[in-house]
Amino acid sequence: MLLTRFNPLKELRTLEDRMNEAFAMDLKKDVFSSFTPSVNTREGEFAYHIDVDLPGVKKEDISVKIDNNILTLKGERKSKEEVKEENYYKMESSFGCFTRSFTIPDNVDTENVHAENRDGVLEITLPKKEKKNKSAKEIKVK
């Protein structure tokens, strides 16, 4: 009968190696195919505001849609850098797309949402619906 000594550290190292390989492959894939823009949200007295950092993204490549109280942002970033010198030529291209979705409150006036892309920042203004003042009503008990 052949006895094999159990080494728990060997098993952990094998697991660690496999996880590192998996994360390295996902990281390489994500670097070239997508990116996640930073988003800042705030609530004002009359509107909600969403600021999305989109450097290098043209306004033609951005889509903003609202459907069933879900605000969905989609876009893609394309860049090409070319350097020509006497004995040197370099061209680098990159591409990435993103999708972000947010649930918006019921009191948003979806007919008057405003989006503007300025200096690499997409500013979305979601105005609040006017509150209807409901006065107290006395109900007689019969």
Domains of the chain, earliest start first: 35-127 (2.60.40.790)
Q: Pick the more confident residue, 17 or 103.
A: 103
- pLDDT (tens digit, 9 = 90+) per residue, 52-96? 999 888 889 999 999 999 999 999 888 788 888 888 888 887 778
* Mean pLDDT of the chain, nearest integer: 82
For the chain, percent of residues with pLDDT exceeding 90: 34
What is the predicted pLDDT for the residue at 130? Answer: 81
pTM for this predicted structure:
0.63
Over the stretch 113-130, which tens digit does the pLDDT of each residue have? 999 999 889 999 999 988
pLDDT of res. 122: 95
User: d(Cα 131, Cα 108) in Å, to the nearest integer?
Assistant: 11
Confidence of residue 138 (pLDDT cuts 50, 70, 90): confident
Task: Quote the pLDDT of residue 39.
Answer: 92
> How crowded is residue 77: how many other Cβ atoms within 10 Å of its Cβ?
19
Chain Cα centroid distance, residue 69: 17
The three-state secondary structure class of 65 is strand
